[in-house]
């Protein structure tokens, strides 16, 4: 398979079949693979999303993981989730037809016309000082097809009108935008990323339901803080901070 032309700094390997691109990237990171190593799978046999959820991986969609080695703490490095969400937003905005609505959903999903089209999974390894050894940034994009019956409604780029788009085009577009936003994050820090993310955020200022592993509660999506935590105004007027969870509009039960 001919690899697509990517911006300088990326080293892409394409597998016809892989257990999971994140698993392969973790193995390579532990073996010393350099920053910018990118793994793409045409299919995955054990693809997964956040919290161990299975990620269906038929041919035609994009499954990719990127090894990153920023010189920073784990806490700072995890904010790259928001960098990648902005980059994917801009990548898809350059592909879908005009007037198609795109937004980013906390903490790591991309929506097209209020349906999930892409997800992001960040995994990391640190040293005893809390400094990053490596990050693996995994992205999955529904290009040709999407799963039915998911907890949050899904869609694909082809279904939303980008009928000639393929995984290679999405990969190249994401790589270009991610490089630019990562450089901005490195030069200017998280505040500029936070502002850009909020400008693209789904449900900002609106009622949401927050689903945690052992709890659900409702409130109004106010903000994200300097760590990327969700800030929700609850019924008594207090603000509640959430670091791990999922959000839904009230109509999705």
Instruction: Tell me the pLDDT of the chain (253 aa) as tens digits.
Output: 445 789 999 999 999 999 999 999 999 999 999 999 999 999 998 766 555 566 567 899 999 999 999 999 999 999 999 999 999 999 999 999 999 999 999 999 999 999 999 999 999 999 998 899 999 999 999 999 999 888 899 999 999 999 999 999 999 999 999 999 999 999 999 999 999 999 999 999 999 999 998 899 999 999 999 999 999 999 888 999 999 999 999 877 6
Q: Where in the chain is the domain with CATH 3.30.930.10?
A: 11-199
Query: Model's pTM, two decimal places?
Result: 0.94
Burial bucket for residue 237 (CB in 10 Å: 0-12, 13-18, 19+):
exposed
Question: Dihedrals φ, ψ of 66, to 5°?
Answer: -125, 130
Coil, helix or strand for 28?
helix
Q: Tell me what pLDDT residue 1 has.
A: 45
User: Domain 207-248 maps to which CATH number in 3.40.50.720, 2.60.40.1180, 2.30.30.100, 3.30.56.10?
Assistant: 2.30.30.100
d(Cα 132, Cα 130) in Å, to the nearest integer? 7
Q: Tell me what pLDDT residue 57 has.
A: 79
User: Domain 11-199 maps to which CATH number in 3.60.20.10, 3.40.47.10, 3.30.930.10, 3.40.50.620?
Assistant: 3.30.930.10
Q: Tell me what pLDDT residue 50 has.
A: 54
């Amino acid at each position: 398979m001919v690899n697509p032309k990517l911006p300088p700094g990326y080293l892409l390997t394409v597998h016809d079949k892989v257990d999971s691109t994140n698993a392969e990237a973790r193995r390579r990171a532990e073996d010393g693979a350099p920053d910018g190593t990118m793994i793409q799978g045409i299919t995955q046999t054990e693809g997964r999303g956040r919290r161990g959820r299975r990620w269906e991986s038929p041919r035609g969609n994009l499954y990719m993981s990127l090894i990153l080695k920023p010189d920073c703490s784990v806490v700072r490095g995890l904010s790259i989730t928001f960098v990648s969400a902005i980059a994917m937003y801009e990548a898809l905005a350059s592909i879908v037809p005009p007037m198609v609505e795109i937004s980013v959903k906390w903490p790591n999903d991309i929506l097209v016309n209020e349906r999930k089209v892409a997800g992001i999974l960040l995994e990391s390894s640190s040293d005893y000082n809390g400094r990053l050894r490596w990050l693996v940034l995994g992205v999955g994009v529904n290009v040709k097809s999407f799963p039915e019956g998911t907890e949050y409604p899904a869609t694909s780029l082809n279904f939303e009108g980008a009928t000639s788009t393929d995984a290679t085009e999405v990969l190249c577009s994401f790589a270009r935008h991610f490089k630019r936003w990562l450089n901005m994050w490195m030069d200017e820090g998280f505040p500029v990323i936070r502002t850009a993310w909020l400008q693209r955020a789904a449900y900002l200022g609106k009622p949401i339901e927050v689903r945690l592993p052992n709890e659900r509660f409702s409130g109004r999506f106010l903000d994200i803080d300097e760590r990327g935590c969700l800030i929700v105004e609850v019924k008594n007027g207090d603000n509640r901070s959430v670091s791990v969870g999922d959000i839904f509009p009230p109509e999705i039960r």
